[in-house]
Amino acid sequence: MKLLPFEKYTWVTAAHREYLKSLEDYVSQSKYLPKFHIYPPTGLMNDPNGLSYYNGEYHVFYQWFPFEPNHGMKHWGHTKSKDLVNWHDCGVAITPDQEYEQHGAYSGNAIEKDGLLYLFYTANYKTPNGKIPKQALAVMDKEGKVTKSPKNPIIDGAPEGYKGEIRDPYVFKKGEQYVMLLGAWAEDDTGRILVYKSDGDLESWQYSGTLDLDMDCGYMLECPAYMEVDGKDVLIVSPMGLSPQGDKYHNRFASLYLVGDLDLDSGKFIIEHQNEIDAGFDFYAPQTFRGKEGQPLMFGWFGCGEQPLHSDKDMWKHGLTMPRALSVAGNKLKSFVAPELLAQFKNSVSIENTAIAVNSSAFRLKTRVPNGSEETIISFGDSNDCWQLIVDTQSGKVAVDREGLDIKVDEEYGYRRQTAINTDENVEIDVFVDNSFVEVFINGGEKSFSLRVFNTKPEANTISATKTIPLDVSVYCG
Please tell me the predicted confidence (pLDDT) of residue 423.
Answer: 84
Residue 305 has pLDDT above 80, yes or no: no
Mean pLDDT of the region 302-318? 92
| pLDDT bucket at 402, cuts 50 / 70 / 90 | very high
CA distances 164 to 180, 183, 236, 254, 351, Å, are: 18, 11, 22, 21, 57
Which range, 109-118, 399-408, 420-429, has the best average confidence (pLDDT)? 109-118
Handedness of CA 217, 219, 223, 224 (dihedral sign): positive
Bridge-based pairing state of the strands 57-65 and 75-81: antiparallel
CA dist 148 and 173 (Å) reads 21
Amino acid 290: pLDDT: 98
pLDDT in tens, 29-47: 999 999 999 999 999 999 9
For residue 408, what pLDDT is reported? 83
Query: Whole-model pTM above 0.85?
Result: yes
SS3 171: strand
Banded model confidence at residue 7, pLDDT cuts 50, 70, 90: very high
Determine the 3-state secondary structure of 80 from DSSP. Answer: strand
Report the catalytic residues. Answer: 47
Assign 193 a pLDDT band (cuts: 50, 70, 90): very high
Beta-strand pair 268-276/212-213 = parallel
Whether 9 shows a pLDDT value over 90: the answer reads: yes
pLDDT of residue 460: 74
Max mean pLDDT range (142-156, 239-253, 398-412):
142-156
What are the distances in angstroms from CA 452 to CA 245, 319, 374, 416, 456? 23, 10, 27, 13, 13
Q: pLDDT category, 304, cuts 50, 70, 90? A: confident
Buried b (16+ CB within 10 A) or exposed e, 264-295: beeebbebeebbbbbbbbbbbbbbbbebeeee
Report the first-to-last Cα separation within the chain, whole angstroms.
Answer: 30
CB atoms within 10 A of CB 29: 8
Give residue 78's pLDDT.
98
Average per-residue pLDDT in the chain?
A: 95
Question: Can you tell me the distance from the alpha carbon of 256 to that of 224, in angstroms, rounded to the nearest whole number?
Answer: 10
Q: What percent of the chain has pLDDT over 70?
A: 100
- pLDDT for 422 beyond 90: no
Provide the pLDDT for residue 369.
95
pLDDT at position 307, please? 86
On the question of pLDDT at 174 being above 80, the answer is yes
Mean pLDDT of 329-338: 97
Q: With a cut of 90, say whether residue 5 has pLDDT above it.
A: yes
Alpha-carbon distance 349 to 359, whole Å? Answer: 12
